[in-house]
Chain A
Amino acid sequence: MSADAGTTSRLTAAFRKGRPALVAYVLAGYPDRAASLEALRAAARGGADVIELGVPYGDPLADGPVIAAAAKVAREQEGGFGLVHALQVAEAFVQDPGVPEGPPVVAMTYLNPLMRLGLSDAAARMRAAGVAGAIVPDMPPEAAGPWLRVSGGIDTVFLAAPTSTDERLEVIAGASAGFVYCVSATGVTGERESLALGLSDLVGRIRTHTSLPVAVGFGVGTAEQAAQVAAVADGVIVGSAIVRRQEDPAEVERFVRTLAVAVSGG
């Protein structure tokens, strides 16, 4: 549910450090459970302000080839790997983030794994794991009623896209808690050579509807791009470029550090 007026959620606070924030996406279970936990800690050490923890899913409509392929590897490990396992990894990370004050974790999952578990049970498990927020890319606000009714204590982050009308931005911003996820370009997640024109306009349009932080994702893959996005947004989300490095936690830490420096204007 939306944060009460006058209070700032832990997730929102992570974007209010007086500089743009870095949101690092790590895919749970890739290449395996232990390595993904190490990657989370590496991202925290590298300076991620928020962790977006991806849940491997078999039909990732909004994701590009890097995350889709990694999700397949994760799901195919012995015993399978889904939402329940991802939340176990989240809990392990929250309890021992490897840095003095761990960044809040936002779970990114498609809707069906939530439904399969039962929305209420899924929300309870998220809370128990210490997850601060949820991003459900195939759940537009109009379809979110059943989830919002049971997900108290978890900030549900909705996506705004370049194709969203002002009318829809109002609905999306109004329904969001924690922050608003601004999709930089039409299409799926993944690195792009250049960032879409009009990004700053889109962020500006979203800001007219909300005081929540606006973080930009989809297509941000380099420190240079991260710096460009940081100049117009409250947060920069990097996914595929981190997942590509996830097999090597040291490389994740190094890469996240360069992103964090770029985002904070260093």
Chain B
Amino acid sequence: MTDVLLPSAELAYSTPDAQGFYGPYGGTFVPETVVPALGELAAAYAEAIADPAFLDELIYLLRDYVGRPSPLYRADRLAEAVGLGAVYLKREDLNHTGAHKINNTIGQCLLAKRMGKKRVIAETGAGQHGVATATTAALMGLECAVFMGVEDIRRQALNVYKMRLLGAEVVPVSDGSGTLADAVTAALRHWVERVEDTFYVIGSALGPHPYPQMVRDFQSVIGSEILGQMEEKEIGRVDAVVACVGGGSNAIGTFYPFLRDVPAGERPLLIGAEAAGLGLDTDKHGAALTKGSPGVLHGFYSYLLQDDAGNPLEAYSISAGLDYPGVGPEHSYLKDEGLVRYEGVTDAEALEAFALLTRTEGIIPAIESSHALALLPRLAGELGSDAVVVVTVSGRGDKDMDIVREAGLGVG
């Protein structure tokens, strides 16, 4: 818990550069109106994480409010079912509000308060980031508005109701496909208008600099805890660490401490599961890294699903949290550098993994997290039946009951 944000002294892996670039990716590609605000934010963030008082409050809230550290649970029945030596689940689903998102909202809202902002806005896809922001805003007495696509509002009615209960305004976004990408655009546009009194709490490790770095740092508590827990539990060897990637915040939070603190030769395979939707050979997926090409969207340069004219394409996934046409810039860098491997997981494979974890361990995962779990049988084939794999279960599945029921996942 003490090394939440502070990088180790000897940096084998050091990103981003001063302009917010990860290799060629990242940067700041936004209208001038918000450029000064991003500069202020970067300066305020750098100052905050060097301030022990800020870190103390963050660590206190992560522990006593969020419930950290989250367990690293050895899922034996799951391991047996998929044919692996051991599977450890990093239980972000057990956090307050049911997902990893709150690690970041606590950090950003503390920063908003420190900067004297009284109002926060957020975008949300599955609603988990919206709920986490609304929750944190309630905790800290901040006004809150959450932008959400109309299609996601339909898919995630329960989370919409929760946000309203928590006192947040949910702003429906009907542009485009009415999903996460449209919500990000709407929130950015609103921020351009209200930049002087409003703090934009971005929910994934994307957007213009310093957001990708800031979100990664706040989420890196996940990977730092895994490393500490591996030591405590005397787990000598881990062969692979797996997380799902939409924008990529739980994945980068999981992977970053392994990249930063573990020498390359001792590092486990790091694998991100992207949404392959109805299949990578269809146009219904959200696999920006596997199927996209580099471009600028939402203020940063990264792999992107785009048409020949450079317009972003609509992404698709059964999971509202993964249907985003872009991906956080550090993932693009990690892909090109070969430091992390990215694989597509279809809706059907994710549903199967969802059912498997539910039945073998009595843990109902989010449909997003199920994409990471779906890699386990593949890894058993690749790494053998002795292999040890850590999976970040980024959230719990309560919000997905309607989707799973609609998909016809049987009860019986």
Contacts and interface: CB of A to CB of B under 8 A. Distances in A.
Interface of A: 57-59, 61-62, 68, 75, 80-84, 110-117, 137-140, 142-143, 158-165, 168, 172, 183, 186-188
Contacts of B194: 186
Interface stretch (B27-35, B69-77, B221-229): B27-35
A165 B29 CA distance: 18
Contact of A163 (B29, B36, B175, B188): B36
Most chain A Cβ neighbours within 10 Å, of B29, B298, B304: B29
A186 B195 contact: yes
Given A59-B312, A80-B309, A83-B309, A188 B30 contact: no
A138 B30 CA distance: 4
A186 B192 contact: yes
Given A75-B311, A161-B36, 11 more contacts: A58-B176, A61-B188, A82-B310, A111-B296, A116-B295, A116-B306, A116-B310, A139-B29, A159-B31, A164-B32, A186-B193
B16 interface: no
A80 to B, nearest CB: 6
14 contacts: A59-B181, A59-B312, A61-B192, A82-B309, A112-B304, A115-B295, A115-B310, A140-B29, A159-B31, A159-B32, A163-B37, A186-B33, A187-B193, A188-B193
A113 B308 CA distance: 9
Contact of B32 (A57, A110, A115, A172): A172
Contacts of B295: 112, 115-116
B298 A165 contact: no
B297 to A, nearest CB: 6
B8 interface: no
Most chain B Cβ neighbours within 10 Å, of A59, A114, A164: A59
B296 A168 contact: no
Contacts, number: 122
Given A112-B306, A187-B192, A140 B32 contact: yes
Contacts of A137: 31-32
B283 to A, nearest CB: 15
A163 B34 contact: yes
Interface in B189-233: 189, 192-196
A113 B310 contact: yes
Main secondary structure of the interface of A (DSSP, over half): loop
B235 to A, nearest CB: 44
Given A84-B309, A115-B295, A68 B31 contact: no
A162 B310 CA distance: 30
A144 to B, nearest CB: 10
Contacts of B312: 58-59, 112
Interface string B162-201: 0000000000000110000100010011001111100000
B310 A83 contact: yes
B189 A61 contact: yes
A159 B295 CA distance: 22
Interface string B259-297: 000000000000000000000000000000000001111
Nearest to A81: B309
B307 interface: yes
Interface string B19-61: 1000000011111111111000000000000000000000000
Interface string B304-342: 101111111000000000000000000000000000000
A18 to B, nearest CB: 30
A216 to B, nearest CB: 14
B299 interface: yes
Nearest to A63: B189
B28 A140 contact: yes
Given A139-B29, A143-B28, A143-B29, A115 B296 contact: yes
Contact of A140 (B30, B189, B309): B30
Nearest to B309: A82
A62 B31 contact: yes
B36 A165 contact: yes
Contacts of A57: 310-311
A53 to B, nearest CB: 16
B301 to A, nearest CB: 8
Contacts of A159: 31-32
Q: Which 9 A-B pairs have the closest CB atoms?
A: A82-B309, A116-B310, A58-B311, A187-B193, A113-B310, A112-B310, A161-B33, A159-B32, A161-B32
Most chain B Cβ neighbours within 10 Å, of A137, A165, A172, A187: A187
A187 B29 contact: no
A188 B28 CA distance: 18
Contacts of A58: 176, 307, 311-312
Given A68-B175, A140-B28, A168 B310 contact: no
Nearest to B31: A62
Nearest to B36: A163
A248 to B, nearest CB: 26
Contacts of B310: 57, 82-83, 110, 112-117
A111 B192 contact: no
Contacts of A139: 29
Contacts of B36: 161, 163-165, 168
Nearest to B19: A142
Given A75-B311, A84-B309, A115-B310, A62 B299 contact: no
A113 B32 CA distance: 19
B31 A161 contact: yes
Contacts of A62: 31, 192
Nearest to A111: B296
A23 to B, nearest CB: 17
Contact of B308 (A116, A172, A187): A116
Contacts of B307: 58, 80
Contacts of A114: 310
Contacts of B175: 68
Contacts of A158: 32
Contacts of B298: 59, 61
A143 B60 CA distance: 39
Contacts of B34: 163
A102 B405 CA distance: 63
Contacts of B189: 61, 187-188
A113 B35 CA distance: 21
